[in-house]
Amino acid sequence: MASDGQLQFAKVSNIYYIALRANGPMTMTQQQTSETGERPRLWYEPAPQHFDTRVAWWIKAGIVAAATAAAILWIDQPVAAWALKAMPIPDLNNASAKHGDLGRELMLLEQWGQWVCSVLVIAAVALIDKKGRRRALAIGIGCLLTVLATYLLKDLCGRTRPWVLGDGLWTWGGPAEGFTGGSKWASFPSAHTTGAFALSCGLAWFYPRARGLFMTLAVITAVQRVLHGAHFVSDTLAGMGLAVITMRWTLRGKLAGRAIASAPPRVREWWMGGE
């Protein structure tokens, strides 16, 4: 017959095993919290090994900011003027143009990270992966926060698109134009680019072996926005930086884990299920 001490040890060990299987090792405080039911432990998956953690995030953000400023000063105008004149790739806005199969494929790739594409990809993650429910929630939260930050910045800056003034010129209308002027005053940053990089960054966090594919799709989206004359180069650079920072902040901040922990027990159990 087991003693009280042995029974207590078995009880704690069993709790520790369940937590270890779902989330990784727990501290003794977390074991006791799980046992008493005071609060659930936050779900979180750390960054994969490939992530560039040797360079501080603020240094990388500074590099992107410097590149964006350089593009505004020296690159935006000539590239935009050339794209508007040459029209190097097919565009759905040109109804009279004959788009071949390659043209239609390029236009499809430009939608990577947009609403329908993102919903389908996130739904696939939730349905296919054993951990997909909570991973899909984490990616979805990051994408939504990126969208909110993007459109707020668009409205605050109020930059004209390349085709508004022509010849690659632009002006900054600020909030007065950004909040009321519509799409033609919504060039900075590129929403297509932020959506593409947010989705790619979230997927790369959980599926690092395919990170090259994800990031390639995001870069294709950004390049096409410039070649269509819909955005300046600096719009896409700023969009890339904003998306990556927002998505990584969302994942490192355990926002999905906090949302799951605050849900009712049955909902929390469903989110944590699937394995």
pLDDT in tens, 258-274: 999 999 999 988 888 75
* Per-residue confidence (pLDDT) for residue 92, from 0 to 100: 59
266 Cβ contact list (under 8 Å, min separation 6)? none
Q: What is the pLDDT of residues 187-224, one digit of tens each?
A: 999 999 999 999 999 999 999 999 999 999 999 999 99
Residues pairing with 159 in the sheet: 172
At which residue do the structure tokens 């603020």 appear?
Answer: 58
> Which position has the higher pLDDT, 90 or 138?
138
- Taking the alpha carbons of 150, 153, 158, 160 in that order, is the dihedral positive or negative? negative
Instruction: Check residue 109 and give its pLDDT.
Output: 87
Average pLDDT over residues 104-118: 88
Return the pLDDT at 77. 97
Cβ contacts of residue 180 below 8 Å, gap of 6+? none
Q: What is d(CA 75, CA 72) in angstroms, rounded to the nearest whole number?
A: 6
Type of residue numbered 100: G
> What is the C-alpha separation between 249 and 233, in angstroms, rounded?
25
**CA Rg, the chain, in Å?**
23
Beta carbons of 225 and 192 less than 8 angstroms apart = yes
The helix-helix angle for 233-252 and 191-206 (nearest 10°) equals 40
Torsion angle (degrees, nearest 10) of CA 248, 252, 256, 257: 170
Sign, CA dihedral 155-181-232-195, equals positive
Q: At how many degrees (to 10) do helices 57-70 and 233-252 cross?
A: 160
The predicted model gives 114-140 an average pLDDT of 96
Q: What is the pTM of this model?
A: 0.83
pLDDT for the residue 19? 37
Location of structure tokens 């027990």: 265
Within a 13 Å sphere around the CA of 225, how many CA atoms are in the beta-carbon half?
31
Q: What's the distance, CA 166 to chain centroid? A: 32
pLDDT tens column, 30-78: 333 444 455 567 888 888 866 666 778 889 999 999 999 999 999 999 9
